[in-house]
Amino acid sequence: MICLGIEGTSHTFGVGIVSSKKNILSDVRDMHTTNEGGIIPVIAAEHHKRVAQKIIEQAILEAKYPKIDLISFSRSPGLPPSLHETRKIALELAKEMNLPVMRVNHVASHLSSAHFHTKVKDPIYLFVSGANTQLIVLENKRFHIIGESLDIAIGNCLDKFAREIGLGFPGGPKIEELAKKGEYVEIPYLVKGMDLSFSGVVTHLANLYKKRIKKEDLCFSLQETCFAMLTEVAERAMANCNKKELVLIGGVAANKRLNEMLNIMCKERKSKFYSVPLKYSGDHGAMIAYQGILEYEKNKKIKTETNSYERIDELDVSWKY
Ligand code: AMP
Ligand code: MG
Confidence of residue 297 (pLDDT cuts 50, 70, 90): confident
The reply to whether ligand 1 has any atom less than 6 angstroms from the CB of 14 is: no
Mean per-residue pLDDT of the chain: 95
The reply to whether ligand 1 has any atom less than 6 angstroms from the CB of 81 is: no
Highest mean pLDDT among 31-35, 37-41, 207-211: 207-211
Give the ligand with the smallest distance to the CA of 250. Answer: 1
Residues with CB under 5 A from ligand 2 (ion): 129, 283
* Ligand 1 atom closest to residue 128's alpha carbon, by position in its atom list: 3
The reply to whether ligand 1 has any atom less than 6 angstroms from the CB of 173 is: yes
Q: What is the pLDDT of residue 303?
A: 67
Give the ligand with the smallest distance to the CA of 312. Answer: 2
**Coil, helix or strand at residue 301:** coil
The reply to whether ligand 1 has any atom less than 6 angstroms from the CB of 254 is: yes
Give the ligand with the smallest distance to the CA of 219. Answer: 1
Asked whether residue 39 carries a pLDDT value surpassing 90, the answer given is no
SS3 content of the chain, % helix, strand, coil (to 5): 45, 20, 30
Q: What is the pLDDT of residue 35?
A: 83
H helix intervals, the chain: 41-62, 80-97, 106-117, 154-164, 172-179, 199-210, 215-241, 256-268, 285-298
Q: What is the pLDDT of residue 34?
A: 84
Cα–Cα dist 285/289, whole Å: 6
The reply to whether ligand 1 has any atom less than 6 angstroms from the CB of 226 is: no
CA of 30 relative to ligand 2 center, distance in Å: 14
Asked whether residue 302 carries a pLDDT value surpassing 80, the answer given is no
Cα–Cα dist 7/275, whole Å: 21
Q: What is the pLDDT of residue 25?
A: 98
Beta bridge partners of 2: 19
* Ligand 1 atom closest to residue 154's alpha carbon, by position in its atom list: 10
**Coil, helix or strand at residue 310:** coil
Confidence of residue 172 (pLDDT cuts 50, 70, 90): very high
6-to-21, 93, 143, 251 alpha-carbon distances in Å: 19, 10, 23, 17
Give, rounded to a whole angstrom, the gap between the first and last alpha carbons of the chain. Answer: 17
Q: What is the pLDDT of residue 299?
A: 67
CA of 300 relative to ligand 1 center, distance in Å: 33
- Averaged over 289-295, what is the pLDDT? 96
Which residues are CB-neighbours of 170 under 8 A, at least 6 positions away? Answer: 11, 31, 33, 130, 155, 158, 159, 162, 251
Contact 210, 176 (CB under 8 A): no
The reply to whether ligand 1 has any atom less than 6 angstroms from the CB of 252 is: yes
Mutating to test ligand 1, I would choose from 82, 83, 158 the residue with most ligand atoms within 8 A of its C-beta, which is 158
- Averaged over 241-264, what is the pLDDT? 97
Q: What is the pLDDT of residue 304?
A: 64
Contact 114, 125 (CB under 8 A): yes
CA of 259 relative to ligand 1 center, distance in Å: 13
Q: What is the pLDDT of residue 84?
A: 97
Nearest CA to ligand 1 atom 22: 172
CA of 155 relative to ligand 1 center, distance in Å: 6
Nearest CA to ligand 1 atom 3: 251
Determine the angle formed by the axes of helices 154-164 and 172-179, rounding to 10 degrees: 70
- Averaged over 13-22, what is the pLDDT? 97
CA of 65 relative to ligand 1 center, distance in Å: 32
Q: What is the pLDDT of residue 204?
A: 97
CA of 212 relative to ligand 2 center, distance in Å: 33
* Ligand 1 atom closest to residue 153's alpha carbon, by position in its atom list: 10
The reply to whether ligand 1 has any atom less than 6 angstroms from the CB of 158 is: yes
Give the ligand with the smallest distance to the CA of 248. Answer: 1
pLDDT in tens, 66-122: 999 999 999 999 999 999 999 999 999 999 999 999 999 999 999 999 999 999 999
CA of 226 relative to ligand 1 center, distance in Å: 14
**% of the chain surpassing 70 pLDDT:** 98
